[in-house]
Amino acid sequence: MEDYGLSVWGDNNFSIEGDTVNILYGNNPSLLDITKNIRDMGYRGPILLRFPHLIKKQIDSLFQEFYRAKNEFEYQGDFKAVFPLKVNQYPSFIHSLLDVSSEYNYGLEAGSKAELIIAMALTPKGAPITVNGFKDREMISLAFIAAKGGHNITLTIEGINELETILEVDKEFNKDDTNRVTPNIGMRIRLHSSGIGVWAKSGGYGSKFGLTSTELLEAYEMLKKENLVDKFAMIHFHIGSQMSEIAPLKKALREAGNIYAELKRRGANGLRAINIGGGLAVEYSQHKANANRNYSIKEFANDVVFLMQEISKSKGVEEPDIYTESGRFIASSHTVLIAPVLELFSQEYNERSLRLKENNPPLIQELYDLYNSISRHNAREYLHDALDHMESLLTLFDLGYIDLEDRSNSEILVNLIIKKAISLLENEDSQEMKRLQDRIEERYLVNFSIFQSLPDFWGLGQNFPVMPISKLSSRPTRSASIWDITCDSDGEIAFDAKAPLLLHDVDVKKEEYFLAFFLTGAYQEVLGMRHNLFTHPTEVTVKFNENGDYFFENIIEAQNLMDVLDDLDYDTGKIDKALKTLIDESSLIDDTQKQELLGKLYLYLSENSYLKTIIAENYDRGI
Ligand SMILES: *Cc1c(COP(=O)(O)O)cnc(C)c1O
């Protein structure tokens, strides 16, 4: 049975039960059942499902592993974590995140003013807020307002000039020295060791962020002069996202740990935390051979705690609180994008479509005979003959010797012969067979936009696990490439013989066939672009009650056409008027027809950009 690599990337969140892929939670509903229920409510196009229980699972796993490591090593510092908002700021996600993490005092990390406002408004009092990235006077002032409101907030400085601004803002906000309230100050260090992978530039000397040792010492002196050393609470680094190996992290921890210890020994009395940033990787691969990471969360927690302890002991300083800002690890598994297949492009390659004549050109006749007599022992030979004939027939067409119908017949016959040969030679794993898989690949047109829903596939070549949500007990036979509905040739996930995706042969006019894309909960939603004006898909939060039954919350429908135009700052009033005038003043139609057309037009304007998939039997019923 094809399991689409569930055992590699699935993390025991899903399992295949008979025909369907089911959620290993509550009463184990299938994704198909959930999808049908949502579509029965009238929603069409792609649907983004959110599962808060999977957010909770990741947060539990992060905290429990660090708590365990702390106990095992008898580590004296605390473990704390914040969620970096840039990974996913969507309210349905953030509200669920805060909801399921209340027992841990989990906080938020902000990298811009808008994110800081979210953090100030939603972080529970006492839970940490960290602020990274470049800041101006206004952003720093916002952090002072948060601190004065009682938030536990740390401003991580990226350069000396930010510290200068903080000192100025401090004077402005704390004119009266007896009641001095300021945010904690963290310093991002520019590591000598660099990150790895695509995001390597987040760390290392060439990094966009952080202070050199010279700047660190300078900053420390400035704080001392202003009597603010007590507020210097945190050392921070972040070596980049999706770390495939643990070794670079260990190097960075040694470097940062020693910087922490050195500053402590210098008299940084308020310094009590080391913030190791994010970077915990997620396994996206559907094929074991292409696995994305070589460590577990357990190993990660052990290494961090052990190294911090070792360094603190050898330098005789107290063990720091450990902060993490893992985002991808927390958010990616919580969404599943479900998208309907609209069409299989080469489905017309079947016997019924042949237009054979009474007298066919000899090569066509020969192809027809090959097709009818191909068998296991002659499959390879006949296949080669067919490919050879195809070349000749195309040349004959170019020279004007055969017509379009002949050409169509040869395309169909050769396609059918390749398919038959592949199934006859099923047990052969030759290079040639792999190449042929490519040649008869089926193009599945899918009702979604790669630019909107999988931007990292487009931008970084990041693969996401994909599988159908039905028919899973039958063998998929078609090597598949996936095409989205944008008018952009980049909107394609090509067939890859090294990591083949096989899908089922379905007649989508008769039965619905949906693909699910997994692990899309980190970065994809906000990076998603409205290329061709396709918008964020309809989203639904799926929760479970005490009996294990699922229910829906926060259904947010994809934006309608006029709202999309409004977002681009079109004057929708004018557009509305122009459309109305177009119909009203038309001399081609009478008044009754005008009414009818306007009715239709306004109905369409109230809907989203995605295509409507309705299978034939439902047309009459209008659903
Ligand atoms: C992006 C970012 C993170 C999150 O990284 P993940 O790889 O998603 O865990 C954490 N900290 C900082 C400073 C970041 O810029």
For ligand 1, atom 15: residue with the closest CA: 238
In DSSP terms, 481 is beta-bridged to 443
pLDDT of residue 204: 59
- Which residue would you say has higher pLDDT here, 203 or 473? 473
> Is the Cβ atom of 257 under 6 angstroms away from ligand 1?
no
Q: What confidence score (pLDDT) does residue 348 get?
A: 72
Choose which residue among 85, 109, 274 to substitute to test ligand 1 binding: the one with the highest number of ligand atoms within 8 A of its C-beta: 109
pLDDT for residue 48 is more than 70? yes
Which of 148, 146, 160 is CA-nearest to residue 113? 146
The ligand 1 atom at the shortest distance from the C-alpha of residue 329 is 9
Q: Which atom of ligand 1 is nearest to the CA of 240?
A: 7
d(CA 389, CA 114) in angstroms, rounded, equals 64
Residues of the chain above pLDDT 90, percent: 83
State the Cα–Cα distance between residues 572 and 363, nearest whole angstrom.
Answer: 60
Q: How confident is the model at residue 196, as a pLDDT?
A: 53
* The overall pTM is greater than 0.75: yes
Cα 527 to averaged position of ligand 1 atoms, centre (Å): 15
Whether the predicted pLDDT of 347 surpasses 90:
no
Q: Look at residue 439 in the predicted model and tell me its pLDDT.
A: 74
Ligand 1 centroid to Cα of residue 112, in Å, is: 13
Q: Is 524 in the pocket of ligand 1 (CB under 6 A)?
A: no
Alpha-carbon distance of 66 to 49, in angstroms, equals 29
pLDDT at 427 over 90: no
Instruction: Classify domain 150-326 by CATH number.
Output: 3.20.20.10
- Reported as a single tens digit per residue, the pLDDT across 522-581 is 999 999 999 999 999 999 999 999 999 999 999 999 999 999 999 999 999 999 999 999
Q: Which atom of ligand 1 is nearest to the CA of 86?
A: 1
| Distance from the alpha carbon of residue 446 to the mean position of ligand 1, in angstroms | 32
Mean pLDDT score of the chain, rounded to an integer? Answer: 92
Give me ligand 1 centre to Cα 140, in Å. Answer: 20
> Helix, strand, or coil here: 24?
coil
Distance 458 CA to ligand 1 centre (A): 21
Local confidence band at 477 (pLDDT 50, 70, 90 cut-offs): confident
Q: By the 8 A CB rule, do 524 and 597 touch?
A: no
Q: What are the domain boundaries of the chain?
A: 6-50+336-346+441-556, 150-326, 351-438, 561-607
In sequence order, what DSSP letters do the residues of 111-152 get, joined into one string?
A: SSHHHHHHHHHHSPTTSEEEE-S---HHHHHHHHHHHHTT-E
Tell me if residue 466 falls in helix, strand or coil: strand
Mutation pick for ligand 1 pocket among 131, 199, 239, 241 (CB with most ligand atoms within 8 Å): 241
pLDDT digits (tens, 9 = 90+) for 133-185: 999 999 999 999 999 999 999 999 999 999 999 999 999 999 877 789 999 99
Residue 437 is predicted with a pLDDT of 75
Residue 599's CB: how many other CB atoms inside 10 A?
Answer: 9
Q: Are 379 and 417 in contact (CB under 8 A)?
A: no
Q: Atom 2, ligand 1: which residue's CA is nearest?
A: 278
Is the CB of 86 inside a 6 Å radius of any atom of ligand 1? yes
pLDDT band at 623 (very low <50, low <70, confident <90, very high): very low
Identity (one letter) of the amino acid at 451? F
The finding on whether 236 has its CB within 6 A of some atom of ligand 1 is no
- Ligand 1 center–CA 201 separation, angstroms: 13
Band of pLDDT at residue 1, cut at 50, 70 and 90: low
pLDDT above 70 covers a percentage of the chain that reads: 95
Per DSSP, the three-state class of 255 is helix
Atom 12 in ligand 1: which residue has the minimum CA distance? 277
Query: Average pLDDT for residues 454-471, to the nearest whole number?
Result: 96
Look at 276-285, 298-307, 544-553, 612-621 and tell me which has the smallest mean pLDDT. 612-621
Of residues 344, 341, 346, the one with CA closest to residue 439 = 346
Query: Does the CB atom of residue 248 touch ligand 1 within 6 A?
Result: no
28 CA distance to ligand 1 middle (Å): 33
CATH number of 351-438, picked from 1.10.760.10, 1.10.3470.10, 1.20.58.930, 3.30.70.3270:
1.20.58.930
How confident is the model over 364-391, as a mean pLDDT? 93
Contact 173, 229 (CB under 8 A): no
* CATH entry 1.10.760.10 includes domain 6-50+336-346+441-556: no
User: 111-120, 188-197, 410-419: which range is least confident on average?
Assistant: 188-197
pLDDT of residue 59: 98
Q: How far is the CA of 85 from the centre of ligand 1 (A)?
A: 9
- Of 45, 30, 46, 5, the C-alpha closest to 467 is 5
pLDDT tens-place string over residues 127-147: 999 999 999 999 999 999 999
Which pLDDT tens digit goes with each residue over 205-238? 566 678 999 999 999 999 999 999 999 999 999 9
Q: What is the mean pLDDT of residues 18-22?
A: 97
Q: H-type helices in 549-621, by residue range?
A: 561-567, 572-584, 591-605, 616-619
Architecture of domain 561-607: Orthogonal Bundle (1.10)
Mean predicted confidence (pLDDT) in 293-302 = 94
| Residue 123 reports pLDDT greater than 80 | yes
The whole-number average pLDDT for the span 7-20 is 97
Integer Rg of the chain from CA: 30
pLDDT top residue among 178 and 606: 606
Which atom of ligand 1 lies at the shortest distance from residue 522's CA? 8
Residue 272: both structure tokens together: 């009590």
Confidence at residue 326, expressed as pLDDT on a 0 to 100 scale: 97
Nearest-5° angle of CA 160, CA 163, CA 167? 145
| Nearest-atom index, ligand 1, CA of 241 | 7
Residue among 284, 325, 332, 527 to mutate when testing ligand 1 (max atoms within 8 A of CB): 325
CA end-to-end distance (rounded Å), the chain: 34
Q: Confirm or reject: Cβ of 279 under 6 Å from ligand 1.
A: yes
Model confidence band, residue 262 (pLDDT cutoffs 50, 70, 90): very high
Cβ 195 under 6 angstroms from ligand 1: no
Q: Is the CB–ligand 1 distance for residue 188 below 6 Å?
A: no
Instruction: Take residue 471 and report the two structure tokens written for it.
Output: 């028919």
Residue 75 CA to ligand 1 centre (angstroms): 25
Name the band, by pLDDT with cuts 50, 70 and 90, for residue 291. confident
Give residue 622's pLDDT band: very low, low, confident or very high (50, 70, 90).
very low
Furthest-apart CA pair in the chain: how many Å? 103
Q: Does residue 44 have a pLDDT over 60?
A: yes
